[in-house]
Amino acid sequence: MTVVYAAPNFERTGVVAGFVLSRDGYFELLGMRIPAISRGVLFAQGAMYRPAVAPTLPEADANQQSWLYYNSSTGFYWADTMTPATAGDAFLGWIVCDADTVIGFSRQEIEVPAPEGNVTVIGLGAVLPQGGLPGEPVFSIAAWPGGLEFFAPSFTDLSAARTIRAAKFTVWAWDETAPVTAQLSGGIDADDTSLGTDDLSGFTEGDYCVLDSEIVRVFDFVGSTAMIDRAQLESSAATHSSGATLIRLAPHVFSFSFPEGFFLLTGAGGPGDWTSWQVFRAMRVCAALCSVVNAVGESPVAIAHYTDTADQGLRTLSGGQVDVQVQGVLGVVSEAAPPTYLAQTSSVLDIQAFVKQAPTGAAITVDVTLGPLGVGTLTIAAGETESDVIDGRGFPPILTTHPITIDITQVGSTFPGEELVVRIRL
């Protein structure tokens, strides 16, 4: 069978025939988001356009769906929505792009018998059903040290899944190494529609922000006060105390392409086996959105939020750890080891201390300082070889200029303990 590209089976206002979108290998090689388009006939503002050769289109925007229009005066252009810039513009179709190339088209792919001998294929036959728009996807992501893992979406109804070509994940997160924050100047109740802060200079109207476990949208700034839309991205409205931290979220888009029929596969090599790991260092993910695109259009958007967890989000951290070591039998001493510095700014997962030989008669206590911040005291009880754990999720980032130091403030009275290691996981 031979595959023939044909016009999509929805109305294209102003188009008489032709103008079918497809991949352009030359522009793909250059990393440009420009599809090929065939010759055709259309009318825009009452004027006919019938090019003698296939036209060249402008480049579309990255990481989104774009709609193609033609204006009789200005020519082809891409729109962010299915609304023309000028009344009477002809609508030709849509594409979906990732960061570098076109990954989805509004077209039909029709299989026709290959000509044999003197047999001539006269027509394309009836329009093939596309199954409509895909349903809302079911999706999941996972945080690993230094990155995120994306899993293939699934669907409760596969009737429109055959032509799914692309999935888009929008991850709302904040950078733990450089957060943009403000503190509430007064508490707010779950039904309040405004908040006051100490400083909104790092924020922009329309930003999504996380406030404790709630996600809000800020707008209509007056000085350091803003109006807020509550319970955004499926979070829940809650009360917040004076001094609570408002943290600005930023969107990060990840797009993936799939071959036609992929979501109908079962077993090895199918959607159940597909994952993609993406570098996403030292971020805290508060919410994620997912949609897919098939030959008809884009699915409803699925939303998941993660602020109800103990970490108030998914922490990707940096991976690795720093070990501060003190050799031999221990004694009470300030700066028990030379200051340690990080090669890159990092957030902290947790801090814990260990000894090779346990103290007896009394506990070992160790004060840990990360730059200007004294983060707490680790205690190794008498007869034990490891301390309690200090959780690092509320710490500010450790900069490359911040010395990491430890002070041993108490040792065992009968035997002090031996070979201390303070482990800082990043």
pLDDT category at 58 given cuts 50, 70, 90 is: very high
Show me where the domains of the chain are located: 2-112, 129-317, 321-425
Residue 182 pairs in a beta bridge with 246
pTM of the model: 0.66
Percent share of the chain, pLDDT over 90: 52
Residue 111 is predicted with a pLDDT of: 58
Residue 289 is predicted with a pLDDT of: 96
Q: Is 60 exceeded by the pLDDT of residue 116?
A: no
Q: Which tens digit of pLDDT belongs to each residue from 224-266?
A: 999 999 999 999 999 999 999 999 999 999 999 988 888 888 7
Closest CA to 282 of 190, 385, 135, 395: 395
Q: Which tens digit of pLDDT belongs to each residue from 168-207?
A: 999 999 999 899 999 999 999 999 999 999 999 999 999 9
8 Å CB contact between 246 and 197: yes
Residue 292 is predicted with a pLDDT of: 92
Residue 124 is predicted with a pLDDT of: 42
The yes or no reply on domain 321-425 and CATH 2.60.120 is yes
Q: Is 80 exceeded by the pLDDT of residue 379?
A: yes
pLDDT category at 114 given cuts 50, 70, 90 is: low
Q: Which tens digit of pLDDT belongs to each residue from 152-161?
A: 999 998 888 8
